[in-house]
Amino acid sequence: MTFIVFVGGMSYLIYRSVNTNFELVDKDYYKNELQYQQVIDATKSANALSSAVQVRQANDGKIILELPEEMKDKIISGDIQFYCAYNSERDKKFELQLNDGVQLFNPKTVLPGNYTVRINWSSEGKKYFSEKPLTIL
């Protein structure tokens, strides 16, 4: 009887360990880690701007991204990522398409939850990076 309980318990533990989902922060975690100095430099550049990047949800539900004032008249390319730490299926990535330094996102494109918003952009050969927490209702 003891042997049967032991084998049953071990079988259950093996079943649970095989079916457990382990998600890394990023699919290319190790490759991105090697390039992290670039992120540090881009963050310093973003912190040196006159004001911080603003990401918020308006009363009508739209998500608003606003870059600092000095970025409004410049040609900007980059992307914005909504990173959900507890469920990678909720992660979303968009190209920056700014209108006078502001970009609006439809609330239907990003599911409600807690996100880390990563904004990565470049202008005039200089790279910028900012991370902001955002709770979408």
Structural domains of the chain ordered from first start = 22-136 (2.60.40.10)
**What pLDDT does 108 receive?**
87
**What pLDDT does 6 receive?**
96
Q: With 70 as the cut, is the pLDDT of residue 25 above it?
A: no
Q: What is the tens place of the pLDDT at every residue in 88-136?
A: 888 899 999 888 889 999 888 888 999 999 999 999 889 999 999 999 8
Cα–Cα dist 24/16, whole Å? 19
What residues contact 98, with CB distance under 8 A and at least 6 apart?
A: 65, 67, 76
What is the chain's mean pLDDT, rounded?
A: 88
**What pLDDT does 86 receive?**
82
pLDDT confidence tier of residue 56, bands split at 50, 70 and 90: very high
Provide the token pair at 27. 């699919």
Cα–Cα dist 73/59, whole Å? 27
Sequence-ordered alpha helix ranges (H) in 2-134: 2-18, 29-34, 36-47
Cα separation values, 1 from 8, 9, 11, 13, 15, Å: 11, 12, 15, 19, 21
* Mean pLDDT value of segment 47-57: 91
Side chain identity at 10, as an amino acid letter?
M
Q: Are 120 and 32 in contact (CB under 8 A)?
A: no
